Amino acid sequence: METLSNPSIIGFTVFIGLLLLNMPVFASLGLAALFTIVVLDAAPLTVVPYILGGSLDKFPLLATPLFIIAGAMITRSGMSQRIVNLSQIVLGQLPGGLALATLLTGAIISSMSGSNIATVAALSFLIPAMANVGYPRPFAVAVVAAGCTFGVVIPPSIGMIIYGVITEQSIPKLFFAGIGPGLLMFVVLGTCIYFISRRNGYRGQAVERTLSSFFGALKDAFWGLMAPVIILGGIYSGIFTATEAAAVAVVYIFLVDQFIYQKIGLNNYPDLLFEAGKTIGVIVLIIACSSVFAWIWQTQGLAAIITGNLTEWSGGNSNLMLLIINGLLIISGAFLEPIAAMYLLVPLVKPALVGAGVDLIHFGAIMTVNLSMAHLTPPVGVGLFLAARIGNVPFETAAKWALPFVLCEAVVILLVTFFPSISLFLASGI
């Protein structure tokens, strides 16, 4: 009863209530935090500006808006279409060839933009393309949504950057920790698409598959494929930081488009930046409001209560503790936007994880894989919701078709959780 009367618990209940009333996540967080501070007298109101400013005054966070802008530029430059054409030649002869090409393109685009939402936008043209060659439209929507989930995991991941800021862990190490889980996700999701397509007779478009067509498509997609090489190569070689890499990505895509693709006119940039700015604004508000709520939870002793309960329930066993936390993340991911989930939950579970000897780099991989699944799970499911909206498919229908992919990602979560080497075999080398 003492825990239930804790102001932070009451405030969180208010937050859930506001979400159920269909209020935006950032507004629900902000109003619930304000209610907890003012009505429940949890803290002086004067501390709020300091928390808001401090939460955003972090150099690595600059990478977030820059990667979002890069994602918007990728969508308009036609890079994704060129990469799809190459993927089609490589994978198109397999059952579900176009769907597999969509998945592969999603992985590549994610390694340039770091954003799930940007990846959905870049892949959206493939929904009618798949429908036109015989794929059910809800299946096409589910495939595009599954293709977007790599953005949280594969570097340069905005989710990894934010997790690194919260936990003060090395962002390059976290990027390395995302490579193994990202590749595993591709294999598991690709296998699922292959067998579903084989059973139902889904095939790709008929395209010419000769050496000349392959090298022609490779030449066409070359500049797009070089983007992740430059971005990640620069980070891992120490030439620039993750934040600087985001700026490099924007400049690189701008130069490639201006001098080679010539798809985005200079007069289009105000509109492009405005659209990207709306996404950036929402993310900034979520980070700021989540930070206030997380601070309240810390000062009201909720972190200590959670640590005690996790230790008691798991008996100090790190594997059992991770299993319990995964369950908490899955439930939270169904209702919370992933960035908000990170800011709210990481400070609560970090003390228990450190006490149990869990490597925080490993947990970063676990958390990002878990929250990548949140883009597919209702009632929020941001990636699936956006894909369903673009594909003109009811969200409930899209959710049913996405269920096999949700189960696949659950398998990946368990594998990454109980086999740390999947995420740490590269990260441990730096």
Question: What tokens does 282 get?
Answer: 């929402």
Rounded Cα distance between 150 and 159, Å, is: 11
Q: Residue 420 has what DSSP assignment?
A: T
Rounded Cα distance between 265 and 24, Å, is: 34
pLDDT at 204: 62
- Confidence (pTM): 0.84
The count of other CB atoms within 10 Å of the CB of residue 41 is 10
Question: What tokens does 407 get?
Answer: 């189960």
Report phi then psi at 5, rounded to 5.
-90, 0
Report phi then psi at 121, rounded to 5.
-60, -40
pLDDT at 1: 46
State whether the Cα torsion 89-121-125-385 is positive or negative: positive
Residues 110/77, Cβ–Cβ less than 8 Å? no
pLDDT at 206: 65
pLDDT at 53: 81
The count of other CB atoms within 10 Å of the CB of residue 164 is 23
User: Along the 430 residues of the chain, how does pLDDT read in single tens digits?
Assistant: 455 677 878 888 888 888 888 788 788 888 888 888 888 887 888 888 888 888 777 777 788 888 888 888 887 888 888 888 888 888 777 788 888 888 888 888 887 776 777 788 778 888 888 888 788 999 999 999 898 888 778 888 888 888 998 898 988 899 999 999 999 999 999 999 999 998 988 876 666 777 888 888 889 889 988 888 888 888 888 888 888 888 898 999 999 999 998 899 899 999 989 988 887 888 888 888 888 888 888 788 777 788 888 888 888 788 899 999 999 888 887 777 778 788 888 888 888 898 888 999 999 999 999 988 888 887 767 788 888 888 888 888 988 999 999 999 999 999 999 999 999 988 765 5
pLDDT at 3: 59
pLDDT at 205: 62
Rounded Cα distance between 141 and 94, Å, is: 20
Per DSSP, helices labelled H in 114-208 are 116-123, 126-132, 137-148, 158-167, 171-200
DSSP annotation string for 79-109 = HHHHHHHHHHHHHTTSTTHHHHHHHHHHHHH
Q: Where are the domains of the chain?
A: 1-42, 59-427
pLDDT at 289: 84
Q: Fill in the amino acid letter for 404.
A: P
